[in-house]
Amino acid sequence: MAKKTLTGRYNREGSRLHGSHEFILAKRPESEQTRAKTREYLLKVRRDGRRVYISSLWPTLEPDVFTIEYNRTRYRVTITEAEAYFDEANESRTW
C-alpha cells in the first residue's frame, strides 16, 4: 500500500487550507499551551466533516515556516496569506 503524504500546495482561505487534503489552522488559548503543545496547530477535516488533530505547528528560524510530524514523517510547512506548501523534511536538516 502506498504511503499517504501531505506533500503539496494548498490554497489558503482564512484558517482553511484546500488541496489534496483539507486542513484548519487552529490556535490554542494561552492557558493550554505547554512545552509539548505550541499555540498553533493543524487539524485535518475528514470527508464526513469531523476534525482530527494532526500536529502542533513548530516555528523555525525562518518566518512563516513551521515543522510538523505526522505518521512518523516530518514536514516543513510554509504558510503565506494565500497558500501553504508541505514538503517532507530532509533527514539531514537540523531543526
* pLDDT, tens digit, 9 for 90 and up, residues 16-50: 999 999 999 999 888 777 777 788 999 999 999 99
In a domain, 32, yes or no: yes
In a domain, 27, yes or no: yes
Per the structure, the count of domains in the chain is 1
Taking all residues of the chain, what is their mean pLDDT, rounded to a whole number?
A: 88
Contact 56, 38 (CB under 8 A): yes
Q: What is the pLDDT of residue 95?
A: 40
In a domain, 34, yes or no: yes
In a domain, 94, yes or no: no
Phi, psi (5° rounding) for residue 32? Answer: -100, 0
What nine digits make up the cell of 4?
Answer: 499517504
In a domain, 73, yes or no: yes
In a domain, 1, yes or no: no
Q: CA-CA distance, 23 to 16, in Å (whole number)? A: 6
Contact 54, 42 (CB under 8 A): yes
Average pLDDT over residues 4-14: 93
Q: CA-CA distance, 38 to 28, in Å (whole number)? A: 8
Residue 81, phi-psi category: left (phi > 0), alpha (psi -120 to 50), beta (remainder):
alpha
In a domain, 3, yes or no: no
In a domain, 31, yes or no: yes
Domain that holds residue 12: 8-88
Q: CA-CA distance, 64 to 51, in Å (whole number)? A: 24
